[in-house]
Amino acid sequence: MVLRALQDLLAGIYDVPLAHDVYDYLVTDPDWLAGAECARTSEEQLLVARDGDEMAIALYLDPAVLARLAADDPLASLTPGNLADCWTALEGVSHFHYLAFHAGHDHEVSRLELETQAEIDKYVATLWLLRRQSPARFPLELHRILFGRTQLDPALSPDRAAIYRRASDYAARFCRRMERRLARPADAAFREMLAELRRFYRLGETRKLAHIERCA
C-alpha cells in the first residue's frame, strides 16, 4: 500500500508515529467532493470540517494517481515517470499526518504552516527514497526540480496562490540550507540536521517561519 508506506516514511523521519491510518480517511470518488464547501478540481485535497471541539478529516486523492502508483511503485524505484504522482500522494499524506499529529496535541494549524511543511516533506521524503535506492548518489538536481519548476494551478484564488508561493519560498530556503548537511550522511552534520528536522516538525507557524528567517 503506497500511501501507508509514505506515511510510515514520514513518521520514521520525524519520529512522529500516528495511530491513524491514512487509508481510513481516504476518499477516491470525485463526486464526493461536489458537496464540499470550496471544493475544486484537484488530484489531491484535504477536507476538514469542525463541529465545536470535534474535527473531521478526509483526504481525497484521484483514483488515477493511485492506480498509476500501484503499477509503478516509487518506494521500489522512484523515476521521472512516477515522480509527479509520488509528490501528489506525498502532499496528501503530509497534510493528513501533520494535521492529525498536531490535532492530537491540541495545536492549531494554519494553511501556510501546512503547505510549508508539505513542501519540506516532499523534498525530505524524496531525498530519503533516492538515497535508499542509490546510496552512492546525492540528487543535487532535486531542489531545482521541486522548487524551481513548480507552477501554480491557475484556478487558485489570489489569496490561496499567495499562500502557496510563500510556502514554497520558505520551504526552498529551509531545504537549501539542509541540503548541504544531508549530502554527508555519515557525519555529525547529518545527525544534527535530522534532530533539527524533528524539532521543526513540532513547531507552530510563528516559530517555524522565525526559524527559517533566522537560520536560512
Give the tens place of pLDDT for each residue, 39-85: 556 899 998 887 666 778 899 999 999 999 999 999 999 999 999 99
* Mean per-residue pLDDT over the chain, rounded: 87
For residue 6, what pLDDT band results from cuts at 50, 70 and 90? very high
Instruction: Quote the domain boundaries for residue 35.
Output: 2-215
3 state SS of 180: helix
Q: 208, 214 in Cβ contact below 8 A? A: no
| pLDDT grade for 154, boundaries at 50, 70 and 90 | low
pTM value is: 0.91
In the numeric block, which cell numbers belong to residue 82? Answer: 512516477
Give me the mean pLDDT over the 111-134 stretch.
94
Domains identified in the chain, total number: 1
- The C-alpha cell 494535521 sits at 99
The span from the CA of 88 to the CA of 99, in Å, is 17
Measuring CA to CA, which residue among 47, 48, 43 is closest to residue 86? 43
